[in-house]
């Protein structure tokens, strides 16, 4: 089955220690997104790639970076994790740039839960 796979499912890192989360997709979608979801909150968009075109949200801290080496893979790098960065990180894909009506819905992975100690 075509899908969005996130690894690892659970990640523990120390305060200030860089960490990388990975996402892969077999859907061959053009767009890949990274969302941060804190407990009992809505997903918050951090940034997205349309092919190789990187689009950062205005309020995403500089501490968060991303790489997309090819269509299938996308990485989220947190350079110096703080306690406030503990969250579920969700990767999503869509066929086109815009979540347009029924043509390009978001497909989410099951997330990586990040704990910062």
Partner 1 sequence: QQQVKQSPQSLIVQKGGISIINCAYENTAFDYFPWYQQFPGKGPALLIAIRPDVSEKKEGRFTISFNKSAKQFSLHIMDSQPGDSATYFCAASMVTDKLIFGTGTRLQVFP
Shortest distance (Å) from residue 57 CB to partner 1: 8
Candidates 13-21, 58-66, 73-81, 101-109 — which segment interacts with partner 1 by CB under 8 A?
Answer: 101-109
Candidates 11-19, 38-46, 62-70, 75-83 — which segment interacts with partner 1 by CB under 8 A?
Answer: 38-46
Residue 104 to residues 40, 81, 93, Cα–Cα distance (Å) = 26, 32, 9
Shortest distance (Å) from residue 77 CB to partner 1: 20
76 contacts partner 1 (rule: CB under 8 A): no
Residue among 54, 52, 53, 50 nearest 64 (CA)? 54
Q: Is the separation of the CB atoms in 1 and 105 below 8 Å?
A: no
């Amino acid at each position: 089955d075509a899908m969005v796979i996130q690894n690892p499912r659970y990640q523990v890192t120390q305060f200030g220690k860089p960490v990388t989360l990975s996402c892969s997709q077999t859907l061959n979608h053009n767009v890949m997104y990274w969302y941060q979801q804190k407990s009992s909150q809505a997903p918050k968009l951090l940034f997205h790639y349309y092919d190789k075109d990187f689009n950062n949200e205005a309020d995403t801290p500089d501490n968060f970076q991303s790489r997309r080496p090819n269509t299938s893979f996308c990485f989220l790098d947190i350079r110096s994790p703080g306690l406030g960065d503990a969250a579920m990180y969700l990767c999503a894909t869509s066929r086109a740039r815009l979540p347009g009506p029924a043509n390009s819905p978001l497909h989410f992975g099951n997330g990586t839960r990040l704990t910062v100690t």
